[in-house]
Structure 1
Amino acid sequence: MRFNFFRAKETATTNHEEALAFPLDVRTELYTAVVTTSLQDNFYEKTNERLNRIVELIAQNDAVFVAKLAVYARTRLHLRSIPLVLVIELARLHTGDSLVSRTIYRVISRADEITELLAYYQLSNQRQNLKKLNRLSKQVQKGIALAFNKFDAYQFAKYNRAAEVRLRDALFLVHPKAKDAAQQELFDNIINNTLATPFTWETELSALGQVAFETAEQKSRAFTAKWEELLDSGKLGYMALLRNLRNILEANVSGEHVARLGAYLANEKAVKNAKQLPFRYLAAYREVLTVKSGFTAYVLTALEEAVKVSIRNVKGFAQPVKVVIACDVSGSMQQPVSARSKILLYDIGLLLGMLLQHQCRHVMTGMFGDRWKLINLPQTNVLQNVQEFYRRAGEVGYSTNGYLVIRDLIQRKVKADKVLLFTDCQLWNSTGDGGHLAQEWQQYKVLFPGARLYLFDLAGYGQAPVHLVQNSVFLIAGWSDKVFEVLEAIENGQEALAVIDAIEI
């Protein structure tokens, strides 16, 4: 075992903390970089560095895999910007068939992604002159033209924004073929800027905000009535509801409306159709926590039910499988997932850990920084457990001594079938005792040969702290509950990327 470890060092590298790490193959590195990016600065990597690395990796990968990864990122993980990057960069490298146009058609899921795609096309191709979008790739043109047929008047009007590239520009550029007279009329309205203003909660509240009220009380009553009207209309989407729970409660809507709101939040069909990333529920939960209302506890409970409904089909580990879940709460994990988000990588690791704990039976859960500490919490709650971990994070410090998780299991001779670390994979040793996750895991495998180690990479920096081709070590990446589909595939004897390879283009 020691011999194998030192042979592995021949292919070793170092991570951003100059600690021993192991490089990923180009498919895995592209996958981890894509599913963990929001195209903003990270703790160890600037936005342009991440984007340049992704572009380089695209060139090193098979075109079909890149296309499938783009579709996976958009349709399964619900990422928006990075799939557009993948298809445009793919278009620069791949010609000769319809792969690019078919992928663009699959990736474009909202009307504004037509213009976002063209905006990135300009940027990627360094177009500087007045006609930045002339000489458009034929396959890009065809894919966008087909995508125009996906949307109705409401969807086009909702996203017809005054940006550098507008829907009108796109329509002139790609010349989509209308499928009937009604759609041709819609295209004419886009050209003539005569799309009707759509009914949205934003437009309704914006219009009300322009009204001059004589008293603050009148204004308050008007906004209460408007929120109740929006709730009654059935046109307040699930994501809009999550984002506005605090506003709705502070508007003092009636108990009847709060009951309707709570029932909708936890409705299985609504949750399934909404396709929200798990951290959206956590963000809403934290906003509601601060509201001084008699309905706050009710809405918090509804959010707990909603997030549990969202993972109802996730397969955890039942008896007799013994599971250890370890969440990285180090300083580098305190990085927001996007410029406008209050959610940190730290939160996502805790949330995914609590989601999995909820689905397991024999499970020990804890967090690591300078130290490793088990935290025993009931499985009945998910979001509340995340908050409790968050409150106690300082108890273990802010280094990244992940090896202590395995060392503790060795010292206590605890047999675990599955050990899962939710981390940015930038593990290092702040104690000076020479311990490393790779060494500790090899020792653990001597004691318990059947054990498996799963690294859930939440940052995608391109290295792993343990060699992935030996000793039952697996890498999974992403911020969505879909990471558990990859986990299931591995458990069924498939490779981690089999879920992506199964995508049809």
Structure 2
Amino acid sequence: MTRFNSKAARAQPTSRVTSTGRILRSYEGGRGRERDARSELFLLAVANFVSQQTFYESGADRDDRFARLVRRLAVEDPEWTAGLLGWLRGEGNLRTASIVGAAEYVKARLDTGATAGPASRQVVASVLQRPDEPGEFLAYWTAMYGRSVPKPVKRGIADAVRRLYSGRSLLKYDTASKGYRFGDILNLVHAAPDPDKPWQGELFRYALDRRHNPDTALPPASNRVLTAHRELMALPPAERRAVVTSPGGAERLAAAGITWEALAGWLQGPMDKAAWEAVIPSMGAMALVRNLRNFDQAGVSDEVAALVAARISDPAEVARSRQFPFRYLAAYQHAPSLRWSYPLEQALGHSLANVPALPGRTLVLVDRSGSMWAPLSDRSQLNRADAAAVFGTALALRAQHADLVEFGTSSRRLSYGKGESVLKILGRFGDLGGTDTVSAVRAHYRGQDRVLIVTDEQYAHSRYGDPTEQVPAKVPVYTWNLAGYRAGHGPSGSANRHTFGGLTDAAFRMVPLLEAARDADWPWAA
């Protein structure tokens, strides 16, 4: 008798976020599943804004848990941990978490004398991708561990300095508001100029002189950006506004590295229509998105607005900016003019390029319970509930046939039409109080081919078991965790039960892999 090799035989793929089998309690009192250390750190890292309060966990507790996990795995599994940190700063686009993680990686390895795996110097350099980040790293290290900076940290920062420091970066990031100026960092790490950048030696000397002798420091004549900037700064304030209104004003500002943040101070006056129109050509895509309201208030012309719209909705610009999808939702909610609505809709769509077009029938459940309404960070007006709605709606719109459901204490199915605007559909979501994930699954699972739950996994106790147990074992259940709490609402890693995490759409790459019976690796190893 055939027991295994039948037509129904099918491989059971695995994913990397895995449960240990140990039962915990969620913050809501439901039966939770413990995840192994790598899985717990991954989910926490991709949802962690560092020092930020969440609904159930203080910023300090969250940071302590993050640091403990990094220190443990830096010794037990340094290859994996180094891969996570590099990916986190790169594709994950989380600056602070990756910097903190790299510092803790170095500290753990120094304390234990560990030598196997990627060198601390390489890990430090890998997370420093913007010219202000060497200073951020040093500020964190000295605040936590004192002013004695070990050699691996100095060498990793020196590697980054050679790669990142330029005339433009000096103007943008070497400001008096920083505790560690470029000159301080150069003094501390003794970075030698890059041999392939013959101009960098003069730049380093100027950064040191600018730090210690600001009144007499002169930019190197070979650096056109710095000399052009000095010329503009030397203009009398009464003559400066004429620059922005002149035919070549925009080009002159760009050549001198005058950013939109610095322009108002240089003008010593308001950012009016002429000022914005002069600096807009040299602004980055996300700087444009952040300032749409300011453009409207200043009365920027329709011609210039059309150029802005083309930039922010360009697929290549969106990909290059590596911004979270909900950034475009925030801009949509705060930009008063309708002329930005369609470009922002297009940009949001481009930022969700990894959301798959799932075949068959899909049940998409979006958590709108009270715990999801905490802001993503202290500086953000966006919350996890809206982030979840963005991703859930995109999934539903791409799928061949999907039931889109919001849930909390109660649940309800949302209507939408194919090709409808994601941003328009978001207005139909509500605030549904407590968390009853189990009842939502039981009420809306009607034989769909798969179930996707976008949530923080903190469901309340249920006599029916965990949410994933409400679906037949042969049907895949994918949980997308947006918060990174310790306990998961169900098992993960095999047997058609899988958990992803993060605030970008990258996790959805795993769904087609798993449904093709292929194992899904960590994002940086896939």
The bucket for the TM-score relative to the shorter chain is 0.7 to 0.9
| 1:495 Cα deviation from its structure 2 partner | 5.0
* 8 Å contact kept, 1:368–1:405: yes
Q: Which position in structure 2 is the counterpart of 1:150?
A: 163
- CA change 1:49–1:443 in 2 (3 A) is closer
| 1:315 Cα deviation from its structure 2 partner | 4.6
* 8 Å contact kept, 2:286–2:312: no
Q: Which position in structure 2 is the counterpart of 1:408?
A: 443
Query: Are 1:121 and 2:141 matched, yes or no?
Result: yes
Q: Which position in structure 1 is the counterpart of 2:338?
A: 297
State how far apart, in whole Å, the 2-side matches of 1:9 and 1:475 are: 13
Q: 1:297 corresponds to which letter in structure 2? A: L
State how far apart, in whole Å, the 1-side matches of 2:490 and 2:521 are: 18
Q: TM-score, normalised on structure 2?
A: 0.81
* 8 Å contact kept, 1:91–1:137: no
State how far apart, in whole Å, the 1-side matches of 2:346 and 2:476 are: 31
Q: State which drifts further: 42-51 or 352-361.
A: 352-361
Q: Which position in structure 1 is the counterpart of 2:452?
A: 420
Q: Which position in structure 2 is the counterpart of 1:245?
A: 292
Q: Which position in structure 1 is the counterpart of 2:24?
A: 13
Query: Are 1:227 and 2:239 matched, yes or no?
Result: no
Q: Which position in structure 2 is the counterpart of 1:37?
A: 48
* 8 Å contact kept, 1:70–1:103: yes
| Pick aligned residue for 1:442 from 453, 463, 469 | 469
Query: Are 1:159 and 2:173 matched, yes or no?
Result: yes
- CA change 1:452–1:50 in 2 (3 A) is same
Query: Are 1:191 and 2:208 matched, yes or no?
Result: yes
User: Secondary structure at 2:130's aligned position in 1?
Assistant: coil
* 8 Å contact kept, 2:85–2:123: yes
State how far apart, in whole Å, the 2-side matches of 1:143 and 1:469 are: 35
Q: State which drifts further: 456-465 or 493-502.
A: 493-502
Q: State which drifts further: 192-201 or 337-346.
A: 192-201
- Root mean square deviation of aligned Cα: 2.1
Q: Which position in structure 2 is the counterpart of 1:182?
A: 199
User: Secondary structure at 1:228's aligned position in 2?
Assistant: helix
* 8 Å contact kept, 1:358–1:381: no
Q: Which position in structure 2 is the counterpart of 1:23?
A: 34
State how far apart, in whole Å, the 1-side matches of 2:516 and 2:207 are: 49
Q: 2:471 corresponds to which letter in structure 1? A: Y
* 8 Å contact kept, 1:65–1:501: no
State how far apart, in whole Å, the 2-side matches of 1:348 and 1:400 are: 17
Q: Which position in structure 1 is the counterpart of 2:119?
A: 99
* 8 Å contact kept, 2:31–2:466: no
State how far apart, in whole Å, the 2-side matches of 1:48 and 1:24 are: 21
State how far apart, in whole Å, the 1-side matches of 2:398 and 2:302 are: 33
Query: Are 1:140 and 2:171 matched, yes or no?
Result: no
* 8 Å contact kept, 1:428–1:436: no
Q: 2:368 corresponds to which letter in structure 1? A: V
User: Secondary structure at 1:422's aligned position in 2?
Assistant: strand
| 1:207 Cα deviation from its structure 2 partner | 2.8
Q: 1:434 corresponds to which letter in structure 2? A: R
Alignment of 1:238-387 (within 5 A): 238-288=285-335, 291=336, 296-312=337-353, 314-319=354-359, 321-379=360-418, 380-387=420-427
- CA change 1:124–1:248 in 2 (3 A) is same
- CA change 1:146–1:10 in 2 (3 A) is closer
Q: State which drifts further: 46-55 or 21-30.
A: 46-55
State how far apart, in whole Å, the 2-side matches of 1:305 and 1:103 are: 36
* 8 Å contact kept, 1:67–1:86: no
| 1:206 Cα deviation from its structure 2 partner | 2.9
User: Secondary structure at 2:81's aligned position in 1?
Assistant: helix
| 1:443 Cα deviation from its structure 2 partner | 4.6
| 1:493 Cα deviation from its structure 2 partner | 4.3
| Unaligned 5+ runs, structure 1 | 1-7, 212-218
* 8 Å contact kept, 2:122–2:156: yes
% identical aligned pairs: 27
* 8 Å contact kept, 1:315–1:488: no
State how far apart, in whole Å, the 1-side matches of 2:319 and 2:22 are: 43
| Unaligned 5+ runs, structure 2 | 1-18, 211-216, 220-225, 230-256
After superposition, the C-alpha distances for 1:337-387 in whole angstroms (9 at most, x for unaligned) are: 111110001111111112222321211101001112110112431122223
Q: 1:456 corresponds to which letter in structure 2? A: W
User: Secondary structure at 1:323's aligned position in 2?
Assistant: strand
Q: TM-score, normalised on structure 1?
A: 0.85
- CA change 1:361–1:278 in 2 (3 A) is same
After superposition, the C-alpha distances for 1:441-473 in whole angstroms (9 at most, x for unaligned) are: 43531xxx4311111111101111112255411
After superposition, the C-alpha distances for 1:246-275 in whole angstroms (9 at most, x for unaligned) are: 110121111111111111121122222121
